[in-house]
Amino acid sequence: MQHRDIDAEIRRSAFEFLLDATSRHGDVLPWGLLTRGFRYRSQTVILLGAKGIFKPRQCEYPISITTAPPKPGRPAPYNDGLDENNRLRYRYRGTDPRHPDNAGLREMMRRGIPLIYFFGIAKGQYLATWPVYIVGDDPASLTFEVSVDDHVLGMASADDQAGLVRDARREYVTVVAVRRLHQQTFRARVLRAYREQCAVCRLRHAELLDAAHILPDRDPRGEPVTSNGLALCKIHHAAFDRHILGVRPDLVVEVRRDILEEIDGPMLRYGLQEMNGRKLIVPSRETDRPTAEFLEERYARFRAAG
C-alpha cells in the first residue's frame, strides 16, 4: 500500500476512534486517552503531542492541530474567534512560513486533506473537533484559516460536493463548533471554581453537573465568565431555568411557593422542597463568585414568574 493511502487509512481510523471515544466520555477528552492513541496494524498511533502541529511517525502529513488550555486568571493563549469569513485562525509554528510543520499544513490545504483540531478547555482536557480543513494561508499574520465540516459529509470526495454547498456547510458547522468550544470552556471553568459540586445540593458527580448562566447568554451582559455562572446538577439547573428555584441576592435558595405546597413523591420532597432556605455554595476566590447585581436581577425575574 502506498504511503499516502496508509496516511488516509490512519486518518479514517483516527476519526472512528474519536467517534467511539466521545460516545463514551463525552465531547471533552482527557490528555491521557489521546496520547495513548489507538492501534493500527499492531502499531500505536497517538493523536497529539507537546507541539501544536502534530504528525505521528506513521503519517505523511500532520494529523492534528492543538491550542493549549487557558491558565486560570490569564487570557487564552490563542484566538478562538471567527474571522470575517466565519473561519477559525490558527497560528503558524514559529515565525518561519517554510518551517516543515507549516509547510505540511500548506500541502494539506492544497490536497484537501482533513485533520483534527484539539481545543484545550482546561488542564488535561481537550474538545476534539473533526474533520477540519486548512482553507487559507496568511503569511503576513502568520496564520492559517481553518474550517470545520460535518463528521460524515465532510469526508465525502470533493468531486461529490458542489463547492458553494460545501463552503456554506463548513461556514455553518464552524460557527457551531466555536459556540460549543465557548460552552465547554465556560462549563470547565465554572465546575472547577465550584470544586465540581452542585452549588445547591452538593452533588459531586461531574457528569451530572452543568454550568448555569445567571443572566442568560442572550442578554448582552450574559457572558460565559465564572462570575455569571453557577455549578448546578441537572435537576436544579432545569428548576433554575424554569423559575421553579431561585437564588436570593444573599445567596439563599428559594423554591417557588406552589412547589412547596405540592404533594408528590420523594424526588420532589428531597430534590426540591428541602432545598428551600439552603445557603448556596460559592467559590473560594472572590472573582469567581456570583455577581451580586446579576443575582438580584435574576431573583427579580424568579419572583415575577412566581
Convert the pLDDT of each residue in 262-272 to its tens digit. 988 898 999 99
The CA distance from 42 to 60, in Å, is: 18
Give pLDDT, residue 174: 85
201 and 119 share a domain?
Answer: no
Examine the domain organization and report whether 179 and 163 are in the same domain: yes
Report phi then psi at 124, rounded to 5.
75, 10
Q: What DSSP character marks residue 220?
A: T
**How many domains, in total, are found in the chain?**
2
279 and 160 both lie in a single domain = no
Domain interval for residue 236? 196-305
The SS3 assignment for 245 reads strand
203 and 174 share one domain: no
Lowest-pLDDT range, 67-76, 146-155, 229-238?
67-76
Which pLDDT score is estimated for 158? 52
Same domain, 7 and 156: yes
Rounded distance between C-alpha atoms, residue 191 and residue 194, angstroms: 5
Residues 6+ apart with CB under 8 A from 220: none
pLDDT digits (tens, 9 = 90+) for 273-306: 999 999 999 999 999 999 999 999 999 999 998 7
Residue 68 identity (one-letter amino acid):
A
What does the pLDDT average to over 221-229?
A: 91
Say whether both 84 and 221 belong to one domain.
no
- The stretches of the chain forming alpha helices (DSSP H) are 3-25, 31-36, 100-111, 163-193, 234-241, 257-261, 266-271, 292-305
Where a domain ends, among 129, 156, 191? 191
Does residue 162 sit in the same domain as residue 268? no
Q: Do 244 and 272 share a domain, yes or no?
A: yes
How far apart, in whole angstroms, are the C-alpha atoms of residue 14 and residue 19?
9
Whether residue 203 is found in the same domain as residue 176: no
Question: Given this model, what pLDDT does residue 77 score?
Answer: 46
Where a domain ends, among 191, 207, 229? Answer: 191
71 and 208, same domain (yes or no): no
How far apart are alpha carbons 277 and 9 in whole angstroms? 59
Whether residue 16 has pLDDT greater than 60: yes
Task: State pLDDT tens for residues 231-246.
Answer: 999 999 999 999 999 9
pTM: 0.77
| Domain endpoint, select from 132, 160, 191 | 191
For 159-206, write each residue's pLDDT tens digit.
Answer: 555 676 788 888 888 888 888 888 888 999 999 999 999 999 999 998
- Quick one: 75 and 176 in the same domain? yes
